[in-house]
Structure 1
């Protein structure tokens, strides 16, 4: 087998990224259809988005260890297979399969979440910002597309929610075939690069800087997944149609793409990222405050544009910090596993908690105020993680 070229490796990273958000973001716009099918409460519906985050938290710490033993190529292949199985089980079984399939999807996505930053650090150490930008932007593009097309597929084309969600299985199958050439190369790379082996060193869990990275990752993830799960419902609660809510969910993710694209490149050019991190989070904060008081189409659109910009910047910065704060690929894998384990455990509380509060108040006012408080916390964590430093080897 010929050695894959760097452009081909970039292509595989792009296709992997396509699968790391779409299976989750596709649910939010049609959650009411799923609620009606299985007679779910809002809290149970929120748990559909929460469950993948729990899977991220539980499975992420094991990914770097599995990768050290089998190579990142085979480990990633296993993750993709988990996504395929999960998508099929979620759509075509029963009530229990809805949640079991969602958990499998979460385990598969966790594999990609952990491995991609370490692969970028290993294969593109001099271009971390550019490659991370390509990765996060590609991921965000398909996250947005999945949010926007679920309603047209399920209702417009009358495919039903099952087929509207299962359609993403085709993309994952294509990704498997594109990834296959990496199987041999990743084993060679892992065996020939000491930085990818499990060598003794300072535990990543004892690093204060690693905890700041984790808190930043967890907080921005909590806000993002709460919006993915409940933004359509928030908008329809203001008297808007389901179709408009689906379009707005697509909008807030699309307008974040420029920030997602630019932020890692800018961050990589500076040793200290406090200014750009703070600006991004403040835009996020202003947008969320505006959403709290929005009661017209124009105000909702403006608020979501600001939220989208802040969201795009915070997601890409969270992933970029994994590479920027790591001295080598091994530590990047460890930091990626930690930040996406403890971080997503924090995030997992969000969607379910928002649904729980709505069930008891019949209003999204308190949930939005809570999200505003989390964005204020995000600003503080961003100041801590943006200082020029590395986690200890």
Structure 2
């Protein structure tokens, strides 16, 4: 839950926070941008933290950063809120990279199951805080929500520190020094690793663009706010359902079976693209179908990347190196998508250009995913 809730909850309270800080809500838009910037800047270097401290201590460090950042955000002044948000972004960026490595180290024979568990927990945590933030804020004020966001990493840190004393990795979680520099240096020159960056970045671009602009597009077509909320909730719900099933399928299916699955889901994505070429409708059912298809597609390809970070590498450090590289580059790609779409939307909400771009993104996503699933291992030898 600490991997998303501390980041996704604050945008729900921007007006209230702005009032307390005596600034305009628009000035707080940076609070949603800072974590993404940290993901881009820090992800590629997270494996270095793991190489120095080992996986268990590195996870402790990451959760402690989230706790410290959450405490700083309790201060009702802009500098403290900004610094706290940056620390949270750094901590979450590390956890994003470490979790596939955690699965590799502690559950190498159950990668699908435990990838399902942590991705489902992440999505569930986001959904729970989306539901509870408004009632808590109305009853007790936005500071109460901030205190809950302090208790979350505090509890996680206590539980983790107790568990870490007894849990021992099945695969060594700290690499040999002779391998660290080689793999860290050459991951950006590794053609197979770039396939995974492509999968992660392209699905994230579709996901973030959909979340940012689909409500506005539906509103343009006179869909009510309530029905827009239902469509977005369905998008998230289907993501959670997919996260329960897909990781296990990924580790069990053959390369041929995975390729067929990629083609089927890609075809679904192209159906949604075809629908968007003919979107002049106020039909709620139409937009529910579009949201459902895109929700299934983005979740599927997200899980392709997250599961294969672990299943296509041989050691936790290799997993962290590839995961960090793919997430750093992928988040950079995904940050550009909503901005470009937003500019196009302002010119023409139902413009042909953005629909063509969406179709091209799906085709590229399918192609790089087909390459990724055909990969045996990203690195030729174990660290």
TM-score range, shorter chain: 0.7 to 0.9
Whole-angstrom distance in 2 between the partners of 1:263 and 1:307: 15
Q: For residues 117-173 of structure 1, what are the alpha-carbon distances to aligned partners after superposition, in whole Å with 9 as ceiling and x for unaligned?
A: 11111111111111112121222222333344445555xx36566655664333222
Whole-angstrom distance in 2 between the partners of 1:108 and 1:307: 29
Unmatched tracts of structure 1, length 5 or more = 1-17
Alpha-carbon spacing, 1:260–1:163, altered in 2? closer, same or farther (3 Å): same
CA shift, 1:263, in A, is 1.0
Whole-angstrom distance in 2 between the partners of 1:89 and 1:361: 40
One of 227, 246, 249 as aligned partner of 1:263: 246
CA shift, 1:346, in A, is 1.6
Alpha-carbon spacing, 1:194–1:32, altered in 2? closer, same or farther (3 Å): closer
Whole-angstrom distance in 2 between the partners of 1:286 and 1:29: 32
1:59–1:107: 8 Å Cα contact kept in structure 2? yes
TM-score, normalising length: structure 1: 0.80
**Counterpart in 2 of 1:176?**
157
Whole-angstrom distance in 2 between the partners of 1:32 and 1:290: 35
Q: Map residues 107-118 of structure 1 onto 2, 5 A cutoff.
A: 107-118=90-101
CA shift, 1:325, in A, is 1.6
1:291–1:304: 8 Å Cα contact kept in structure 2? no
Considering only aligned residues, what root-mean-square deviation do their CA atoms show, in Å? 3.3
Q: Map residues 27-106 of structure 1 onto 2, 5 A cutoff.
A: 27=10, 38-39=23-24, 45=29, 48-90=31-73, 92-95=75-78, 99-106=82-89
Q: For residues 178-202 of structure 1, what are the alpha-carbon distances to aligned partners after superposition, in whole Å with 9 as ceiling and x for unaligned?
A: 111244457x759x93763443245
CA shift, 1:284, in A, is 3.7
**Counterpart in 2 of 1:26?**
9
CA shift, 1:312, in A, is 1.9
One of 128, 132, 137 as aligned partner of 2:115: 132
With 323-332 and 98-107 compared, the bigger mean Cα shift is at 98-107
CA shift, 1:291, in A, is 5.7
**Counterpart in 1 of 2:319?**
332
CA shift, 1:319, in A, is 0.1
1:282 has 2:267 as partner: yes
Q: For residues 55-84 of structure 1, what are the alpha-carbon distances to aligned partners after superposition, in whole Å with 9 as ceiling and x for unaligned?
A: 112112222221222222222122122223
The 3-state SS of whatever aligns with 2:9 is helix
CA shift, 1:116, in A, is 1.1
CA shift, 1:339, in A, is 1.1
**Counterpart in 1 of 2:310?**
323
Whole-angstrom distance in 2 between the partners of 1:308 and 1:182: 34
Unmatched tracts of structure 2, length 5 or more = none
The 3-state SS of whatever aligns with 1:256 is helix
TM-score, normalising length: structure 2: 0.82
**Counterpart in 1 of 2:126?**
143
Question: Greater CA radius of gyration, 1 or 2?
Answer: 2
Q: In the comparison of the two structures, how many residue pairs are matched? A: 369
Whole-angstrom distance in 1 between the partners of 2:11 and 2:343: 16
2:202–2:365: 8 Å Cα contact kept in structure 1? yes
CA shift, 1:212, in A, is 0.4
Whole-angstrom distance in 2 between the partners of 1:89 and 1:363: 40
CA shift, 1:254, in A, is 0.8
1:199 has 2:182 as partner: no
CA shift, 1:337, in A, is 1.6
